[in-house]
Structure 1
Amino acid sequence: MSTPLFDDLPAALKSVQTRPLLVMRLDVKPIVIVGETPGPFRRVGIVPSGTFSGERLSGKVLDGGSDWQSVRSDRSTTLDVRLILQTDDGTNILMSYRGIRHGAADVIQRLEKGEEVDPADYYFRINPIFEAPAGKYEWLNRSLAIGVGHRFSYGPVYSVFEIL
């Protein structure tokens, strides 16, 4: 649907351009349940390892990352993740992202049991930001990204895109 205000915008404000940045696979230990808190139901996924690969950077995910999850009253799950990426050339880059996952109750139950679910059957999106040292990867410090996720029994896989 078009509105007069939208119609009057310059072309650069009418759409978002992206390019592939990386695909990342995370290994996650069994979820640690914290339970009901004064806020949401909390659980934490510990990330001991993973890999990432893209045209401009590839490498491994170092041990020590975590995914602090909040299961909200509408049964959606929000993510708050911190990771250390180590590129193939030995550069350490911090990656953090917030995300949200939701879908029909039966689909989410199957996911949480580790069953195979079609990624088109639920919504799983993230918004990564990076902190890189000066040098080859410092361009990441000035970039925003979006990602589309899918949950496997061992952990998630994300296709991450740089927003141009």
Structure 2
Amino acid sequence: MPNRDTTQPDRRTLLLAGAGLALAGSAAAEEAPGGLTDLPLVPPRTEFVYEAVVEIAPLVPLGDSPLGERRIVPITGGRFQGPRIRGTVLPGGADRQLVRKDGVRQLDALYEMKAEDGAILTVRNQVLIDPGRDGAPDYRYSTIAVTAPEGPHAWLNRLVLVGTLHSLRPAQAAVLVRAFRLA
């Protein structure tokens, strides 16, 4: 049988206690962004690796698919340079594109670059372009994987690269790719 002499908290006291717990919880979440651990949130930095002017041929439509419009853009050449590397973009690669039903474009470019010392690098650049809406700029960022042979450029094999993409039209039938390492 419960002890009736014990004072029970009233509704106001319970509400105030709950509000206090909620405030304490939000303060803890501010101290640990993400709220799952007490590890500090340290966003990655980026460091410039290279930029490439990639020359392109006219777009070739490949037809519609259930996912959207397919197309391909042949890569005809170009050049690249950065603090530790420079050379030419070789012809023969291509940028396969999917224009989704929502207007977002997914690009998957595969091509080779030849460094000044003759080393051949294979580049896979996967880009997502979301056209700006309501006056906002386009969102155009990529992940870039570079495969280099053993030797002086092998350092590229150990990087996570992200990139940007800008059209150089109408001045030039090319795009500008800038690659940054996550640090």
Same fold? TM cut 0.5: yes
Are 2:121 and 1:121 aligned?
no
Provide the secondary structure at the position in 1 that maps to 2:57: coil
1:149 aligns with 165
Instruction: Look up the match of 1:64.
Output: 92
TM-score (norm 2): 0.75
Note closer, same or farther for the CA distance 1:44–1:159 as it changes in structure 2 (3 Å cut): same
Cα distance, 1:106 vs structure 2: 9.6
Supply the AA of the counterpart residue of 1:144.
V
**Aligned sequence identity (%):** 28
Q: Against the structure 1 CA distance between its residues 106 and 32, is the aligned structure 2 distance closer, same or farther, given a 3 Å change threshold? A: farther
Moved over 3 A (4+): 1-7, 104-107
Task: Determine which of 52, 55, 69 is the counterpart of 1:27.
Answer: 55
Counterparts in 2 of 1:106 and 1:66: CA distance versus 1, 3 Å: farther
Runs of at least 5 residues in structure 1 that lack an aligned partner in the other structure: 108-119
Q: TM-score, normalised by structure 1?
A: 0.83
For residue 139 of structure 1, give the secondary structure of its aligned residue in structure 2: helix
Query: Aligned equivalents of 1:73 and 1:38: distance in 2?
Result: 9
Offset of residue 3 of structure 1: 6.5
Higher strand share: 1
Task: After TM superposition, give the deviation of residue 163 of structure 1 in Å.
Answer: 1.1
**Structure 2 stretches lacking a partner, 5+ long:** 1-28
Distance 2:34 2:129 in 1: 29
Work out which of the two has the higher radius of gyration on C-alpha atoms and give 1 or 2.
Answer: 2
Match for 1:18: what amino acid?
A: T
Q: 1:136 aligns with which of 152, 157, 164?
A: 152
Alpha-carbon RMSD across the aligned residues, in angstroms, is 2.1
For residues 48-71 of structure 1, the C-alpha deviation after alignment (integer angstroms, 9 at most, x for no partner) is 101111001111000111000000
Partners of 1:32 and 1:45 within 8 A in 2: yes
Matches of 2:152 and 2:139 in 1, distance apart? 34
Q: Which has the higher contact order (CA 8 A, sep 6+)?
A: 1
| Alpha-carbon contact 1:6-1:14 (below 8 Å) kept | no
Q: State the number of aligned residues.
A: 150
Deviations 1:131-159 (A, max 9, x none): 11110011111111011111122121022
> How far does the alpha carbon of each residue in 1:16-75 deviate from its partner, in whole angstroms, 9 at most, with x for none?
111110011111100000121233210100001011110011110001110000000110
